[in-house]
Amino acid sequence: MSYDAESIEKLTAMYESQSPNAFIAFSMEGLPYDSEHAERFDKDADEDHSELTGCDWCCCSDKGYCNSWGWHLCCIGSIVVLIACCCYATNGFFGAWPYWPF
C-alpha cells in the first residue's frame, strides 16, 4: 500500500493507531520518576551544596583552577607579597635568611 498521497496528519494518526498502547502508556507515564536520586540528593544536600559554592568565584575556572593568566599572575604575586611580609615581620624568618636587608 502506498502512503505517498496521504497528509502528514493522517500519516501521524495512522502511525499512532498501529501501536495505540504505546501512546496511551506513554501519556500516562509522563516524566520518569527518580525517587532514588531525590533521596540520595537530600541525604547529602548541605555538604554537596557547600562543595559547589565554595569554588563559585569569577577567578575560578570550571576545573577549580585560575580562570586566566591574569589571575595566575595575581595569585603568584599575592604569594610573593605574603612571603615578603612574613619575612619582614619575622626579620628574615628569625635569622634563617641571614641576608635579609631590612
Q: Residue numbers of the site for another protein (CB under 8 A)? A: 1, 3-4, 8-9, 11-12, 14-16, 18-19, 21-23, 25-27, 29-32, 34, 36-38, 40-41, 43-44, 48-49, 51-52, 55, 62-64
Cell 562543595 locates to 51
CB 97 within 8 A of CB 87: yes
Q: Which residues pair with 66 in a beta bridge?
A: 60
- Cβ contacts of residue 66 below 8 Å, gap of 6+? 59, 60, 72, 74, 75
Q: Is the dihedral of CA 69, 70, 75, 76 positive or negative?
A: positive
Shortest distance, position 67 Cβ to another protein, whole Å: 10
Between 31 and 89, name the residue whose CB sits nearer to another protein.
Answer: 31
Between 55 and 96, name the residue whose CB sits nearer to another protein.
Answer: 55
Shortest distance, position 1 Cβ to another protein, whole Å: 7
Shortest distance, position 83 Cβ to another protein, whole Å: 29
